Amino acid sequence: MKKSLDFTQGEISKLGYISTPVCNSIDLPKAIKKLKKEKNAVLLAHFYQDPSIQELADYLGDSLYLAQQAAKVEADVIVFAGVHFMAETAKIINPSKKVLLPDLKAGCSLADSCPPDDFAEFKKLHPNAIVVTYINCSAEIKALSHIVCTSSNAVKVIESIPKEREIIFAPDKNLGRYLIKETGREMILWDGACIVHEAFSFEKIVTLSKENPTAKFIAHPESESPILDVAHYVGSTSGLLRYVQEDKSTSYIVATESGILHEMQKRCPEKTFIPAPVEDDTCACSECAFMKLNTLEKLYTCLLYELPEIQLDAQLMSKARKPIERMLNLGRS
């Protein structure tokens, strides 16, 4: 068996994960549970992960819940089954822990839509504005922000800012537009978006709703305005999950990454959940390809070799920590 030292940082960053043959007779869920114990590791997983990974999680939730849990972890190792900005956030708020991400290439189109140099220039155009950034951004962008938010607490974060202050909101223009409507606050928006939530088709959703007249349509606020305007409920992944449990209807058309349907079906086995249709019938566009880069096999090798590890510059972490802490101190909505 190879040792961790046999893998160079260059190799790992090129591929994104540890590439080594895994014997196909291994019972991966069992081996992962055993490694978690041996390494004193906790597994944090987002609702968009493959169900096989969600089932192994010590903590399963939305970005806010996972950030809150990451801050409290006492174990030696955090394995983050999510995307890069989530693991990075965990490292920033709990820097003494070893934070592992099964595939370093598990990025995020929203985070990528906001390059730090361009954002720094944009910020200079509005020197008096308070900068609010959605957690789906890089550590460099967080370091340029006053406060971070997630889709669970964005309204609360915006409302915590004095009325007379100008606000820059980045990187998601769709969430930004939704927040302008919800809070009545004008905001200067960065032009970023999520490829998964922008793939939903308004026309097909309307047609599907007509075919299923008793189904309620629910959506994540990263979706485009016309879609949000026709939704019975708009909320973060945990908000959507809460809604389907409390609401009396028996079927729902769900406009967010389809991984959430696993937990919805588990919590409401008698209800029907239909993934919202996307423009392009030939792709699995309602799946986040970044989230789905994590696999059981990569999770296993990641725990075994304790690689790939999130490593960040101490100064950058200290700048990015303050806006995250401001958000955590405000709590949920």
Binding site for ligand SF4 (CB under 6 A): 83, 108-110, 136, 194-196, 222, 257, 288, 290-291
Shortest Cβ 211–ligand SF4 spacing (Å)? 26
Residue 63 touches which member of ligand SF4, ligand 13P, none, C-beta under 5-8 Å by kind: ligand 13P
8 Å CB contact between 263 and 47: yes
Phi, psi for 230 (deg, rounded to 5): -100, 0
Shortest Cβ 163–ligand SF4 spacing (Å)? 29
Residue 69 touches which member of ligand 13P, ligand SF4, none, C-beta under 5-8 Å by kind: none
**3-state SS, one letter per residue, for 170-239:** ECEHHHHHHHHHHHCCCCEECCECCCCHHHECHHHHHHHHHHCCCCEEEECCCCCHHHHHCCCEECCHHH
Residue 150 touches which member of ligand 13P, ligand SF4, none, C-beta under 5-8 Å by kind: ligand 13P
Shortest Cβ 190–ligand SF4 spacing (Å)? 14
Q: Which is nearer to ligand 13P, 88 or 297 (CB)?
A: 88
Spatial distance between the Cα atoms of 254 and 113, rounded to a whole number of angstroms: 25
3-class secondary structure, 216: strand
**Rounded to whole angstroms, what are the CA distances from 215 to 218, 246, 250, 256, 331?**
10, 15, 7, 16, 32
Which residues are near ligand 13P by CB under 6 A?
62-63, 136, 150-152, 194, 222, 236-237
Q: Output the six-digit token pair for 295.
A: 């696999």
CB crowding 24-58: b at 16 or more within 10 Å, else e: eeeebeebbeebbeebebbbbbbbbbbeebbebbe
By Cβ distance, which residue is nearest to ligand 13P? 62
Q: Which is nearer to ligand SF4, 169 or 290 (CB)?
A: 290
43, β-bridge pairs: 79
Contacts of 314 (CB under 8 A, 6+ apart): 95
Place of tokens 């629910």: 218
Q: Which is nearer to ligand 13P, 84 or 123 (CB)?
A: 84
CB-side neighbour CA atoms (13 Å) of 28: 16
Shortest Cβ 209–ligand SF4 spacing (Å)? 23
Shortest Cβ 196–ligand 13P spacing (Å)? 6
Residue 70 touches which member of ligand SF4, ligand 13P, none, C-beta under 5-8 Å by kind: none
Q: Which is nearer to ligand 13P, 18 or 260 (CB)?
A: 260
Q: Which is nearer to ligand 13P, 62 or 297 (CB)?
A: 62
Q: Output the six-digit token pair for 307.
A: 């690689």
Q: Which is nearer to ligand SF4, 36 or 61 (CB)?
A: 61
Shortest Cβ 224–ligand 13P spacing (Å)? 13
Q: Which is nearer to ligand SF4, 83 or 231 (CB)?
A: 83
Shortest Cβ 257–ligand SF4 spacing (Å)? 5
ω into 102 cis (within 30 of 0): no
Residue 109 touches which member of ligand 13P, ligand SF4, none, C-beta under 5-8 Å by kind: ligand SF4
